[in-house]
C-alpha cells in the first residue's frame, strides 16, 4: 500500500472511534455488563441447542440400528425361505 492509502485507513479508524465515543449509549461499566449478559444468554442458547442436537443424533442412531436389525432379520428370513423352497 502506498502512504496515501494508509492515511485513509488511519482517518477511517479515527473517525470510527470518534463516532463511537459520541454515540455510545452507556458507560463502559454498563456496556460491559450488557455484553456479559448477552454473552451468557448466547452461551446458554448454544449449550441448549447442542444438547438437543446430540439427543436428536442419538435418537437417529438408535432408529438406524433398529432399521438395520429389522433389515438383517428380513434378509435372513428370506434366505431361509428360499433355502427351504429349494430343498423341497
Give mean pLDDT in consecutive 10-residue pieces for the chain, a chain of 88 residues: 67 80 73 87 94 95 96 91 83
What residue numbers bound the domain in which 76 lies?
A: 3-87
For residue 56, what are the contacts with CB-CB under 8 A and spacing of at least 6?
none
Confidence at residue 53, expressed as pLDDT on a 0 to 100 scale: 93
Confidence at residue 71, expressed as pLDDT on a 0 to 100 scale: 95
Instruction: Tell me the HSE value of 52 on the side-chain side, using a 13 A CA sphere.
Output: 6
Confidence at residue 8, expressed as pLDDT on a 0 to 100 scale: 77
Number of domains in the chain: 1
Confidence at residue 63, expressed as pLDDT on a 0 to 100 scale: 97
Say if residues 47 and 55 touch (Cβ distance below 8 Å).
no
Q: Which of 25, 22, 23 is nearest to 35 (CA)?
A: 25
For residue 24, what are the contacts with CB-CB under 8 A and spacing of at least 6?
31
How far apart are alpha carbons 33 and 41 in whole angstroms?
A: 12
Confidence at residue 10, expressed as pLDDT on a 0 to 100 scale: 79
Amino acid at each position: 500500500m502506498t502512504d496515501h492509502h494508509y492515511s485513509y485507513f488511519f482517518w477511517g479508524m479515527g473517525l470510527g472511534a470518534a463516532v463511537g465515543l459520541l454515540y455510545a449509549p452507556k458507560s463502559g461499566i454498563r456496556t460491559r455488563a450488557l455484553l456479559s449478559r448477552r454473552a451468557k444468554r448466547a452461551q446458554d442458547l448454544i449449550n441448549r441447542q447442542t444438547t438437543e442436537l446430540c439427543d436428536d443424533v442419538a435418537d437417529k442412531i438408535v432408529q438406524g440400528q433398529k432399521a438395520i436389525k429389522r433389515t438383517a432379520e428380513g434378509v435372513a428370513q428370506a434366505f431361509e425361505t428360499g433355502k427351504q423352497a429349494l430343498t423341497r
